[in-house]
Structure 1
Amino acid sequence: MPASKKSNDKTSGASIARDFNNALTGTLGFEAMRFTANYARIAKAELQSCDYEDLMVAAKDAGKLLPETFNPATDEWPTDAEMINKNIEEKLKDFDKLAGGFKKFVENARAAMTVANRQQ
């Protein structure tokens, strides 16, 4: 009997983990939030604090320059936002985990904020 109880505990633990993961991935904006948090975490760990601050300011500035109806799948970044991207990517070129990801970071941060604001 104890063996079957142990098996049921494992099954229920795996089941709970699966259900929790499904609930998270089904949450509107979850992927955008996850990417944004992960990129920011890596940036904070890899960059000097002044460079991290520059990255956060640049992300905020670039995000403000994107049109409210911006669709990353079809729209190009405005020229001013593209210049911010170019400058930041130049700073990030030696950081493999961050290089090439600034645009996606900004776009995902905007998407996450949009979802969060809608839920309030």
Structure 2
Amino acid sequence: MGTWNYVVNQQQFTDQYGEGAAVRYAKVIGDIAARMTPGDREGALEIVNAAFDEHGFDMPEMMRDKIAENLTLAEHDRVVIRDEFDNVIAEHSLPSDREALDEENRPHIDPESDSRPTYS
């Protein structure tokens, strides 16, 4: 397991997504990372889209795709968000046991439906 590092311009990120956005973003990415299967880029993108839409992170599709790709390259147990000066502004550690995650908070996919998963 490894650390997923993400660098943002803190002021711009706060202006765009609101106060405390970096902390929320770290948690959302951590929650997404806990559900990823290395190599499952398509599944990762579905979860990224649902989570970002739910939490108001209106990022371009190309950026979402890149995030999904990066998250599926390896398993991650920690997310660190840094500002442009390399200061840690948010971090989120995942549970050590992936099965310990609350089943209620996982994306729910109806196998009979073509719809995207919901993120609760």
Give the structure with the higher percent helix: 1
Measured against the shorter chain, the TM-score band is 0.3 to 0.5
Query: How high is the TM-score relative to the length of structure 2?
Result: 0.37
The structure that has the greater radius of gyration is: 1
Give the structure with the higher percent strand: 2
Query: How high is the TM-score relative to the length of structure 1?
Result: 0.37
